[in-house]
Amino acid sequence: MENIPVIVGEIPVSVEEIPIDLKKILVCGNIIDITIPISPFTRTFPGDPIPAIEKVCTLEKDGCNVSKLCFGSHTGTHVDAPSHILENGLTVDKLELKNLMGSALILDFSSLSGELTASILEKSFQNIGAPENIPILLLKTNAFSRKHGSACEVSPSGAESDSQDMEPGKEESGSAYLDESGAAWIVKNGFKTIGIDGFSVDGLFSEKLPAHHILLSGTVNIVECLNLDSVEAGTYFFLCLPLKIEDCDGAPARALLISYS
């Protein structure tokens, strides 16, 4: 991949003061798209709507192409808003974008399965020698590649994603996810955003979603379904912008990493 100098500047921001000066950030490195694409074959969380893309205008008939899009608010790479699980929680259009961009640390748990506890997170964090006060933490678990290949791989049926045929409990034993202590550790350490490459920061078939409640109640943003398969552990500049859908509980997002070298 070609090394491309990238200046992150002249980005419209809200009038509130933010802790990073976007006009002065100079990042020279590779741009890595870690977004899961949306198509009719994108795997979805069990029970969520299956994406549909329908042509409503064509070049031949109408002089332009226009498509009708139909998918759930938590399809592909997406941001969970507090209103996803908290009564009177903020909706996705009200989130502070400053907390979805900045230095990010990727920790690799692809060799583990089951609960990621506070002690596991702390040990990995100390071993990698992360910079202080880093605001964003991304967890690589290989949730998709471990059992199902690529997250956006076409399912054999061509209609529904494999996730909807999973039996309860199987995903918990196949990939890593946060337990309550792990989620509390993230809040305690002052992270503003947590991202994971699986469908959920909780176990896939968790009913009470304890990690979601702890994180969103602690004003930590949640980004799910990242594509981290080809990304190594380390520090990157992270940028994730959810669609601005009014009064919605979440939204698909484009997520990028930019290496610092």
- pLDDT, tens digit, for every residue of 129-156? 888 899 999 999 987 654 444 443 333 3
Tally of domains in the chain: 1
Task: State residue 26's pLDDT score.
Answer: 53
CB of 252 within 8 A of CB of 77? Answer: yes
Residue 104 phi/psi, 5-degree rounding, is: -130, 145
Q: What is the pTM of this model?
A: 0.82
CB of 223 within 8 A of CB of 197? Answer: no
The one-letter code for the residue type at 236 is: Y
- pLDDT, tens digit, for every residue of 231-257? 999 999 999 999 999 999 999 999 999
With 90 as the cut, is the pLDDT of residue 98 above it? yes
Written as six digits, the tokens of 216 are 């969103």
The domain that holds 51 is classified in CATH as 3.50.30.50
The pLDDT confidence band at residue 25, using thresholds 50, 70 and 90, is low
Residue 63 phi/psi, 5-degree rounding, is: 85, 0
Higher model confidence: residue 189 or residue 169? 189
Rg (CA), the chain: 18
Domain range enclosing 38: 4-259
